[in-house]
Amino acid sequence: MKIAIASNGNTLESTLDKSFGRCSYFIIYDKESKAVEYIPNPNKDMEENAGPASVELVASKSVSKIISYEFGMKIKPLLDSLKIQMIVLKDSGKQIREIIEMLNH
C-alpha cells in the first residue's frame, strides 16, 4: 500500500506543507517495502488548478492514501471518485519521519 505525503522538502526531517496542490515535494511511502520516493511538485507555481493536477500526478503513482495539512475544495470530488483516502493532519510541525513512524503502528 502506497501513501503520499505533501511535504515542504525532500528529506525525512522536512515537515508537512501547508497546501496539498502547491506543496514542494510529494513523498510516496510504500508500506510493504518501506521504500520512500521523493517527487518534486511541478504544479508548485501554477496560477490555478494546482490541486487537480497534483491529484493526477499522485494518482498515477497508484497511492491509496494522501496525508496533507489541508486540501482545497476541488480535490474531494476527485479523490472520492478515485477511491483515495484523505487524511487531514492539522499539525504543520510534524516531521515526515514521525509520520512514517506513525504509519508503521
- By rule CB under 8 A, what count of residues binds other proteins? 25
Nearer to other proteins, 44 or 65 (CB): 65
Rg (CA), the chain: 12
Sign of CA dihedral 94, 98, 99, 100: positive
Distance, CA of 92 to CA of 14 (rounded, Å): 10
**C-beta of 50: minimal distance to other proteins in Å?**
15
Binding of residue 89 to other proteins (CB under 8 A): yes
Site map for other proteins, 34-73, x if CB under 8 A? -------------------------------x-x--xx-x
CA distances from 53 to 49, 101, 105 (A): 6, 28, 31
| Chain positions contacting other proteins, by CB under 8 A | 65, 67, 70-71, 73, 76-91, 99, 102-103, 105
